[in-house]
Chain A
Amino acid sequence: MPNKPSLFSEFSKGIIRENPNLVGLLGMCPMLAVTQEAKNALGMGLATTFVLIGSNFVISLLRKVIPKSVKLPAYIVIIAGFVTLIEFLLHCYFPELYSALGTFLSLITVNCIILGRAEMFACKNNVFRSVLDGAGMGVGFTLALFLVGSLREILGTGTWFGITLNGSYSVSVLTLAPGGFFVLGCVIAVVNKLAHKPAPRNIGCQGCPMADTCAASKGGCSQ
């Protein structure tokens, strides 16, 4: 490629500009499932970062060896190997976090951020760049989880990392699923504003779930 982006931008793009979670809208399952508490969110983010860096490293190392026809199974095997590794490590050294994350730890295997980076980046770039990309994406994902987890914990239960800040003014609906969606939506809105992503200019009737019943679509949509 003639003008490759600088090494630093390879790392930093994942933090805000191409944040996999808040701009790319990938990995929504761990985002909503483990962010009731900041501690779990941070643990989940770091575990995913570890797997992301490891799998990006190995996949870009093997990118010329893996045949095209079996590349998905090969990627999954590599990712699953790293997930098993981190699972054993957490089980041994952080049993509390291990039981809090539960099944979502094994589900890192099918986290679409990791497969997405393998497919989009690691199979096309050299090892060093792939590791930087994985680290940047991992940090972006961890920060996103940590931010949503902190907001939900502070506003929802009045604590942060288990330390009581303000117990009497908490809105516990934020620790439930609807509140998770609400906090996530607000954070996505703020980050997209920061990432200078233009809003969709013209929303037509095609994508609207109400199109069948809506009066505007009956007479042919004017847009």
Chain B
Amino acid sequence: MNQMLVSASPHERAPLPTWHIMLCVLLALLPAAAAGCVNFGYRALLLLSVTVGTAIFWEFLCRIIMKREQTVGDLSAAVTGLLLGMNLPPDLPLWQAAVGSFVAIVVVKQLFGGLGQNFANPTVVARIVLMLSFTADMTAFRDPNTDAVSSATPLVTGASYWDLFLGNTAGCLGETCALALILGGIYLWLRGIISPAAPLSFVGSFALCTWLAGNDPLSQVLSGGLLLGAIFMATDYVTTPLTAKGKILFGIGGGCLTFVIRQFGGYPEGVSFAILLMNLLTPYIDRISMTKPFGTTEPREKEVRSDA
């Protein structure tokens, strides 16, 4: 990376460096994280600082042990940590949160070669690993009004639309306040960081499926981790398709899978499983949604290869 050759002009200028994009994502996540801290108290703040701190620590340590260029400065570890913290119930034991950031940063990201090489979204895999390992702690949601730990999932409690919209319900730390998540998404869209294709098709296809199945689409969209997943995890650059067509396909697939898992599955929430499955399909989506240059034909040998 340090030995870049400068060729003759004209030079193409990359629009934004990585750390700048990550800073924008951090800013966009802040309102929802702040809403979570207001709703759930200091414990939420403590959990978020543990996930962000350990994520940065693991990244730093990994790059040193692997003798690679230090990449803590690109802030991607901080984004992963914050996003992970927002995906956890606020009363999760802190050591479990540290295990989560270990899985996200070391197992999913650094062992596959660092930012840009990971096959799946680190936050999603970490959340699924924690869910499978510590099912009881991961589903102990606290109602912010009564401060009582209830095992009921946010998907089955009958909260009003307004409570769901403002985040005044039980759930994971950063997923309850729909208003803050949508504001963050709009900010990222206006800054040109994310394209609205994947989030809109994700939420849209999910709402359509829910409506066809005879459930209340608005309440289902506002509850659980759907908005957090659709806005911040289905728009990850590394693990989602590159083309607009591909992004829409990704969103539709994710929305339909989420509906299927929520409606028929054994787990209370299906967003993370849906995003992981779509992450794995991303190379194939990229392949079928590739834009063909106008007026060209497919080379012959490629046709032979795709048939084989």
Contacts and interface: CB of A to CB of B under 8 A. Distances in A.
Q: Do A and B come from one complex?
A: yes
Interface of A: 169-174, 176, 178, 182, 210, 212-213
A213 B132 contact: no
A127 B305 CA distance: 50
B284 interface: yes
Interface string B275-308: 0000000011011000000000000000001100
Most A Cβ at <10 Å: residue of B132, B134, B287, B306: B132
Given A182-B107, A212-B305, A172 B133 contact: yes
Contacts of A178: 129
- Give the size category of B's interface with A: 10 to 19
B99 interface: yes
B117 to A, nearest CB: 11
Contacts of B283: 210, 213
A169 B107 contact: no
Given A169-B95, A171-B99, A182-B107, A212 B133 contact: no
A174 B134 CA distance: 12
Given A212-B287, A213-B286, A171 B133 contact: yes
Nearest to A211: B305
23 contacts: A169-B95, A170-B133, A171-B99, A171-B133, A171-B134, A172-B132, A172-B133, A172-B134, A173-B129, A173-B132, A173-B133, A174-B133, A176-B132, A178-B129, A182-B107, A210-B283, A212-B287, A212-B305, A212-B306, A213-B283, A213-B284, A213-B286, A213-B287
A171 B306 CA distance: 42
Contacts of B107: 182
Nearest to A168: B93
Contacts of B129: 173, 178
A223 to B, nearest CB: 16
Contacts of A210: 283
Contacts of B134: 171-172
Nearest to B96: A171
A135 to B, nearest CB: 35
Nearest to A171: B133
Most B Cβ at <10 Å: residue of A170, A171, A174, A210: A171
B238 to A, nearest CB: 13
Contacts of B286: 213
